[in-house]
Amino acid sequence: MKMKSYLSKVLFFLLIGHAVQAQQYDLASCLKMAETANPQIRSAQLDVAINESQRSAYLSSRLPSLNFSGDYRYNAVIPGQVVPAQFFGGPAGTFAEVKFGVPYVLGNTLQLNQILFNSQLNYGLAALRINSEIVKIQRDMTIQEVKHQVANTFFILQGLYQQLSFIDSNISYVDQMLQNMDLMVGQGMLVQTEADKIRINRLNLENTQANLQATKSQLEEVLKILIGMDPKATLTLQNDQMVQQTLLVDQNASNLFAIQLLEQQRMMAQEEAKGIKMGYLPNVNLYGIYQYNYNMNPETDFRTGIDGAFVGLRVDWNLFDGLDKHHKAAMNALKQQQIETQTAFTQQQLQLQIDQNKRLIAVKVNALDIAKEQLKLAEAIHQHANLKFTEGLIGTNDLLQAQTGLEQAQTGVVAAYVALRQAELDYLKSNGNIK
């Protein structure tokens, strides 16, 4: 029993360790979770589904419709009509009242309608098809925007993790220094004020650490919302290693959503122009009706059924609309010119933005390289200052100056890393290529 209990505990801790490991997320997993669980993306995907349903419903209007109506009627007072009495053998010049009908009538009508040609229906179907593409583009734009937010938050958190790691290391160093300096104060080799200078620096580090921890917690909550994660769940991100390799994928590929939207607007305007021209033509409908009436008079035991059927072709033609379509056609032509102008301008702006973002990446890569070199120099200076301080060759102020330089260099590396990642994201977003 003890062996079983021991094995159970071992298995439990192994499973716990596996679960903790499984909770770590890299950027790719965060982006994938956002695609399926982000509220904004889910709403955009539902918009696509709703649009497809609307289109299917509209398509059904081209199918024939079949309607049935039934009517049961009791004639409490049968209407009469005055006719010449001689029709029934009466004297000429006199009139008699004759009632036509029966007390009970059961009527049934079956009507078939089929649209043969309707210009507005054809235009509506084309507009829905184009609108479907617009909704899909808007969905893709939403996905890119959310992914940009996810990745940006992810990299800011990576910078915070690294900054907190630097602070932890600095606090450990300061604690060791304070321990040594307190011994020196006790031995009369150092005055208390010199140790207090280092202690003030430690308090500053603690304050910075607390602020960064608060910011980290806030951004982790934001990231949970973006990726659709349970707010109560623990979020652990994999370390990005602050790599120099850029995120750039295929630089030749581009999904310029703004241009795609303008292209769909152009197609919509063209279909609208077609619809205006087709509006000069008549609408043609085919219909057919079958009727069956059953008449009853219980007093005379009269019972009979009468049926009838016919088909027809109905034409509706607006011969003059007060030049309404003429003015609409003129406005449509101006709209198409406007879209063409907007497209040309937008292409220039987007290409300029892409080129600028691409050049900015090169600048940020160089800035990160410089920041890393500065950090190496600051670390070397700090090590040298620490050695000189231990040997009594420099004072506390010189040591603090070296420490401050090291902390500034650490912050500079983190800032340069985040700036590079943000520049890369802006480039990918401008191309619509955040994967």
Residue 145 to residue 435: CA distance in whole angstroms:
11
Question: Which amino acid type is present at position 433?
Answer: N
Give pLDDT, residue 245.
52
Average pLDDT, the chain: 86
Average pLDDT (67-73) is: 89
Q: Which residues pair with 105 in a beta bridge?
A: 73, 295
- Per-residue pLDDT averaged across 341-363, rounded? 91
Name the residue type at position 202.
R
Q: Position of tokens 């231990």? A: 390
Predicted TM-score of the model (pTM): 0.77
The predicted pLDDT at position 432 comes to: 79
Question: What pLDDT does 9 receive?
Answer: 46
Q: Under a CB-based contact definition with an 8 Å cutoff, are residues 190 and 181 in contact?
A: yes
pLDDT tens digits, 102-136:
788 888 999 999 988 887 787 888 888 899 999 99
Residue 271: how many CB atoms within 10 A of its CB?
18
The full set of domain ranges for the chain reads: 25-63+119-282+321-431, 70-117+284-316
Report residue 247's pLDDT band, with 50, 70 and 90 as the boundaries. low
**Could you report the per-residue pLDDT of 50-61, keeping only the tens digit for each?**
988 888 888 787
Reply yes or no on whether the pLDDT at 202 is more than 60: yes
pLDDT of 314 above 80: yes
Q: Which CATH number fits domain 25-63+119-282+321-431: 1.20.1600.10, 3.40.630.30, 3.40.50.720, 3.30.1360.120?
A: 1.20.1600.10
Q: Is 101 exposed, middle or buried (0-12, 13-18, 19+ CB in 10 A)?
A: middle
Q: pLDDT by residue (tens digit) across 378-418?
A: 999 999 999 999 888 999 999 999 999 999 999 999 999 99
Strand, helix or coil for residue 308: strand
> Which residues fall within 8 angstroms of residue 329, CB to CB, at 6 or more apart?
273, 276, 277
